[in-house]
Amino acid sequence: MKIIIIGAQAAGASAAAKAKRRDPNATIRIYEKSDIVSFGACGLPYFIGNHFGDENEMISRTPEQFAKDGIEIKTLHEVIAIDPKLKKITIRDIKSNNCFDDDYDKLLIAVGATPIIPPLENHQLENIFTLRNMYDGLAIKNALTNRQNSNIVVIGGGYIGLEITESLVALNKNVKLIQLDERVLVDAFDPELTQIIEETLKQHCDLHLQERVQGFEGDHKVTHVITNKAKYPADIVIIATGVKPNSELYKDLDLETLSNGAIVIDSYGKTNIADIYAAGDCVALYHRVSQSMTYIPLATGANKLGKVVGDNLAGGNNQFPGTLGTSALRVFDIEAGRTGLTEQQAIQAAIPYKTVIVKDKNHSNYVAGQTSVIAKLIYHAETRVLLGGQLAGGSGAALRTNSLATAIWANMKIDELAMMDFLYAPPFSRPWDILNIAGGIAK
């Protein structure tokens, strides 16, 4: 069995390791366009914010470690064509620029995602960055060492935009966060939650909502950001407007995809082309609640699907059970988590629903550090089965999302939360946890 994997990050690396464990005799070869493998991009905002200093902490395994397990990784090798009929790929050696072919029995496409860069005038100026790979992080960190670079503009109010904003404020930079939509985290949280996050952001940075960036000014290096409302000085600009599947390689194949290029797979990770599998941030995942294929580029889904696909590449019969899109972030002294469907997503899925919102405290009032917490739960209007939930507040708010994810995964009803035996100890919770209360008062 000869298995070729295109891409050596989360999904590709997980698949290779699992396939080798499943079939130690299999030939497994990975082609990776960059010179870095098994990279965890989620750590980038914290690397830039000096939470740690060694960028290699974001690398899980090196090519040498893979080689010890009998997995061959060819870095700086870009796959430029796939021929499904001949079961052959064409590769370009980036160092020599020479091209050559390789064949496969099974092929995994795990090429990940690429940053979305809006059509902004003069976006090629120096000190305008995206934040997706290690070299982005190193370049931004280097630019920040220049004390004259004090005015930073972050474009985009998603997870990365908010996390990098917090890190930049901690570095004593003047940060302006510009968001096109009427609120931050518009695709992940409902307005009741984002309002709290925005209030916290406004205490630490200059938040601009419903404002469109049109371009940049500067000779060689950016000096100003131009929007539909004003012109702002900028020494550094970070564009964090989301990602899209890196579909250039496979766009001309007859692969079934979503409109954004995300590859549609079945529960085994198979595409609609024989012996070609896909995983990671270039694929659409099955959502367990909406029961539809959706694009949710998260490290958790990439790693888990990669493991499933790796098993199947080597002869297994494993199925990926789907995703809930469970995720969280911290923004200064607020943490927030979400899982399942938001209210807006329930509307889009045409699911009859109800909601319950509870405001409470994270733990007992006689223990230092008590803060407010808000929970919003969405449940089916007829069956009362939980559809989604969000929490935001002080310490302990985000991790409660894991309890909600477990309940949704198990198809529990909202009412069952009322008597759920959550832990109680004064430093962690109150006798009636906020989720108990939500389950008890849901109408």
Catalytic residues, by residue number, are: 42
Q: How far is residue 164's CA from residue 183's CA, in Å, rounded to a whole number? A: 17
Q: Are the C-beta atoms of residues 220 and 398 closer than 8 Å to each other?
A: no
Strand partners, 75: 32
